[in-house]
Chain A
């Protein structure tokens, strides 16, 4: 290569790097489990954020600035999440979308708080909003809301007499399990066992055998679909004739595939799924998503995160500033909720999303869901 040519290439490279920097982009971080056990969900979040960024950029950007998406893979582990947080802050992001799991969101929270970076996650663990970080905005409904719904359904609607509450050790699942146990007891329900499984350990029969001896008529499982499907299969294999009620994170097509023929009759509690969302904005966004990626969003969780991102962008436009503190103050004190893909969005002072809407679905013999009970 000639020296002159090398110099030209170098100059061109400098120009390419320098030009967008001069235009002052709005950097948006994505922290999601793009690989690992929850890769499905993580990729859904990243895809959704990139789609929304594209749409906003095409419409002129935010306050005239184009959005630049920077993704970091936290693999669903707290350790990688902490590294992602530092990395995204160093790259100068104003807001971070994600992560999918409460554990990862929690591991990254303090770093974002210290740097004044807004974080919006679908993590449902109550612990996430108990630290008083103004930077954290929950775009889903907290575990306590789901726990109360589950307790009411199990005790008052179904009238179960011997309930087992099972969870894994993660921030989300343990929190939901404890909240459900407390809520069931508050309604006068009889919790005969509260046990825990190790996520990904596959062999749940020892715990289930123990549960069998308690002769339960219902098992509530707070945990993820990858364990829930196997748990349901092993429950049926052991001949435990109790109803299985899975928490929101069991709502994934893989739950039914994993449990196989044993899936039939299992109940899953969740917020409504993307295909039944009644809002126009939801229908348009999902259609755009399908056009771009050739598939449905993996679940509603990715869409909740998109709503979180939309809310922050909305706040920046309303306050006419990229100041994250101003945006957070605006969101904490919104008079009118913003129309969202997953319903109206408004935040309480502690960063919790207001409201809550749940449904109970039942798995049919053909693997499809039927809606059993709507709040």
Chain B
């Protein structure tokens, strides 16, 4: 039983990181019907930006306030890069065929990845131990402070995002833009602004995900965005791409599934089973777990 609970804790930690990253994919898809392949590399970039802020701006301070400042500054920097990305890579192609935008996204992904390599070098960089190594042993299940932090912070962020989208006027404008951009424009919604906002939210959540990866695993490489991007993308599809609670659910399920397969079947097969799960879900529910069947506009 303690093994089961331990795998549960492992799965929830990694799952909440997947979920944070998946939100960026799903929100952009919801409004723009575009898969932002550069998102994974934005996540990787944010870990490097956070590291630089720690060493250059904060002077390697390790207090709680310093950590909060690193999170806020990194999220702000990544939000700016997100807006630039949308302006340069996606806005000029908004009326173009969808395939052009996908190719542009893949190009942006390569540019960001190679940009990280050129700025920070090809070697693995080591993140500092900003969160003290504190562990609690609860009946054989060991939980660390950083795991609790990641889980709680992710949940708070996700619930606030959900409330923001469901309960506020701007949230209503986001939902309207995702249903029909032209109709939203006629109702007085500034769609360009909404899209910029989507990139700000998606990139900052991704930035926090990237910092979590750095803090939890400590080693960051320029090409790690691809792996996390792929998992988050699967999580978004699993939950129903375009659906915000779906991305959260998808991320958590993927994390748990991965942990249990690796724990009970074999770590050798964890990835293969992940893709089998994806295929099965797409066959049984092509729109994902929480995705709604939407009639194609003719």
Which residues of A pack against B, CB within 8 Å?
35-37, 39-40, 169, 195-198, 200-203, 205-207, 209-210, 212-213, 226, 229-230, 233, 236-239, 254, 257-258, 260-262
Quote the shortest CB–CB distance from A249 to chain B (angstroms): 14
Which B225-240 residues have C-beta < 8 A from chain A? 227
Neighbour of A260 across the interface among B122, B133, B262, B263, CB < 8 A: B133
B14, CB-defined interface residue at 8 Å? yes
A213 partner residues in chain B, CB cutoff 8 A: 3
Pick from B215-223, B245-253, B280-288 the stretch touching chain A: B215-223
Neighbour of A210 across the interface among B3, B121, B129, CB < 8 A: B3
CA distance A202 to B142 in the complex (A): 19
Are B3 and A260 in touch, CB under 8 angstroms? no
B3 partner residues in chain A, CB cutoff 8 A: 209-210, 212-213
Are A37 and B124 in touch, CB under 8 angstroms? yes
CA distance A189 to B57 in the complex (A): 53
Main secondary structure of the interface of A (DSSP, over half): helix
Are A197 and B219 in touch, CB under 8 angstroms? no
Quote the shortest CB–CB distance from B124 to chain A (angstroms): 6
Are B126 and A195 in touch, CB under 8 angstroms? no
A37 partner residues in chain B, CB cutoff 8 A: 124, 221
A233 partner residues in chain B, CB cutoff 8 A: 218
Pick 26 A–B contacts, CB within 8 A, sort by A.
A35-B117, A36-B122, A37-B221, A39-B122, A40-B123, A200-B224, A200-B227, A202-B224, A206-B7, A206-B10, A206-B263, A209-B259, A210-B263, A213-B3, A230-B217, A230-B218, A230-B219, A233-B218, A237-B133, A237-B135, A254-B124, A254-B126, A257-B126, A260-B129, A260-B218, A262-B133
B190, CB-defined interface residue at 8 Å? no
B271, CB-defined interface residue at 8 Å? yes
The 7 tightest CB contacts between A and B, nearest first, are: A206-B262, A35-B122, A205-B10, A257-B126, A39-B122, A239-B142, A202-B217
Are B262 and A207 in touch, CB under 8 angstroms? yes
Quote the shortest CB–CB distance from A307 to chain B (angstroms): 25
Given contacts A206-B7, A209-B263, contact A239 B271 (CB under 8 A): no
Are A209 and B7 in touch, CB under 8 angstroms? yes
Given contacts A207-B262, A237-B142, contact A195 B133 (CB under 8 A): no
Given contacts A197-B267, A226-B124, contact A202 B219 (CB under 8 A): yes
User: A261 — nearest CB in chain B belongs to which residue?
Assistant: B133
Max count, chain B CB within 10 A of own CB: residue among A205, A213, A254: A205
Quote the shortest CB–CB distance from A10 to chain B (angstroms): 34
Quote the shortest CB–CB distance from B58 to chain A (angstroms): 19
CA distance A203 to B150 in the complex (A): 15
A257 partner residues in chain B, CB cutoff 8 A: 126
Which B127-156 residues have C-beta < 8 A from chain A? 129, 133, 135, 137, 142, 144
Q: Give 17 A-B pairs besides A39-B122, A207-B263, A261-B133 with Cβ atoms closer than 8 angstroms.
A: A37-B124, A39-B121, A200-B227, A203-B10, A203-B14, A203-B217, A205-B13, A209-B263, A210-B267, A233-B218, A237-B144, A238-B6, A238-B142, A239-B137, A254-B219, A258-B219, A260-B218
User: B213 — nearest CB in chain A belongs to which residue?
Assistant: A202
B16, CB-defined interface residue at 8 Å? no
B223 partner residues in chain A, CB cutoff 8 A: 36
B177, CB-defined interface residue at 8 Å? no
A239 partner residues in chain B, CB cutoff 8 A: 135, 137, 142
B270, CB-defined interface residue at 8 Å? yes
Max count, chain B CB within 10 A of own CB: residue among A206, A212, A239, A254: A206
CA distance A238 to B224 in the complex (A): 24
B268, CB-defined interface residue at 8 Å? yes
User: B267 — nearest CB in chain A belongs to which residue?
Assistant: A207
B11 partner residues in chain A, CB cutoff 8 A: 206
CA distance A284 to B263 in the complex (A): 51
